[in-house]
Amino acid sequence: MNTINKTMKKTIQLITISTLLSQSMAVSANTDINPEHKGRNDYFAKSYQPLCSLPTKTIATASTLEEASQHEFILNKELGLSTQLNNQGEAYIQLAIKEWNEKFIVGVTPKTHVSMAGADIQGADIVNLQCAEQSQYLTHLNTHEWGSYTLKLTGKPNQLVKVQITTTAQ
């Protein structure tokens, strides 16, 4: 009987140690911040903070590149949209860029990829650490001319996504 009690006690200790170790690793994973994300968040804090609470308007976005030109959004200082990706996990949003050499930041739902033909990507998949909940990924874009540009979003089929855009002077 004494041997069984010792064995059970050791098993309980191992389970306890294992549980504490896994919890410690989970906490560590949540607090390990990519140094590049931290640096960008520090530098662009004034631009990133408004994206956390930028209101969104629910819209139906284009499912193809050709459809995107039928509904254009003017990018002034900021723009907030909520939409659903199509069955292929894509959505297209046509933006009217009014300035030369426009720099802007696109915040999206995590695991949503942002691309834009004719624009330079200056950073992608950056976690917005300025928000209470870190549920926004950022992409920095730079256009060189004024005109129409199509923002392409890709993710999971039929995924609901938020798109929050702000221009930046930095």
Per residue in 92-143, pLDDT (tens digit) is 999 999 888 999 999 999 999 999 999 999 999 999 999 988 789 999 999 9
CB atoms under 10 Å from CB of 96, counted, come to: 13
- With contact defined as beta carbons under 8 Å apart, do 158 and 87 qualify? yes
Percent of the chain scoring above 90 in pLDDT: 55
Q: What's the confidence (pLDDT) of residue 25?
A: 38
169 — pLDDT class (breaks 50, 70, 90)? low
β-partners of residue 57 are 81
Q: Where are the alpha helices (DSSP H) in 54-145?
A: 65-68
**Rounded average pLDDT over 59-80:** 89
At 30 the pLDDT is: 44
pLDDT in tens, 27-58: 333 445 677 678 888 889 999 999 999 999 99
pLDDT at 71: 86
Q: What is the pLDDT of residue 17?
A: 46
CA 20 to chain centre: 31
Give the list of residues 6+ apart from residue 34 with CB closer than 8 angstroms, or none: 127
pLDDT at 133: 80
Q: In a 3-state reduction of DSSP, which class is residue 124?
A: strand
pLDDT at 170 over 90: no
How would you label 9-45 residue by residue, b for 16+ Cβ within 10 Å and e otherwise? eeeeeeeeeeeeeeeeeeeeeeeeeeeebeebbeebe
Residue that wins the pLDDT comparison between 20 and 146: 146
- With a pLDDT cut of 70, the percent of the chain lying above it is 79
75, with CB counted inside 10 A (0-12, 13-18, 19+), is buried
**pLDDT > 50? residue 19:** no
Helix axes 35-43, 45-53, angle to 10 degrees: 90
Residue 101 is which amino acid? N
**Are the CB atoms for 153 and 112 separated by under 8 Å?**
yes
What's the chain's average pLDDT?
Answer: 83
pLDDT at 88: 96
